Amino acid sequence: MVLWYFTYAFAGRLIIFLFQKVFSANYDLSKENFLTKLFSCDLCLGFWVYFALAFFLKIDILELEYKIISECLSGAITTFLVWLVARGWDAEFREITFE
């Protein structure tokens, strides 16, 4: 179960990264619309990516009676945990240069 969860978390983060890179390369980000807001926010896009992955892969970390609610909460929890890890990684290993 733990290995599946880490694989799920890693695959979701990779999909989020690729979606954001492809979207920023192909679309004008200066416009304020729904898609630019969605693709620029890790938590927003992450929720939908992890929810879709949990739905299609039947990942249920809470094991609730209602599967769709459990998959939705699994996506939300995983999004937040991966976001915290990514922020910590950036804070630890990002180079700061002063010019």
Both tokens of 53, joined, read: 């992955």
Q: What global pTM score does this model have?
A: 0.81
Q: Domains of the chain: which residue ranges?
A: 11-89
13 CB neighbour count, 10 Å cutoff: 20
Q: Which amino acid is at 58?
A: K
pLDDT for 30: 67
DSSP line for the chain? -HHHHHHHHHHHHHHHHHHHHHHHHHS-TTS-SHHHHHHH-HHHHHHHHHHHHHHHHT--SS--SSHHHHHHHHHHHHHHHHHHHHHHHHHHH------
pLDDT tens digit sequence for 68-85: 898 899 999 999 999 999
**Closest alpha carbon to 85 in 27, 10, 20:** 10
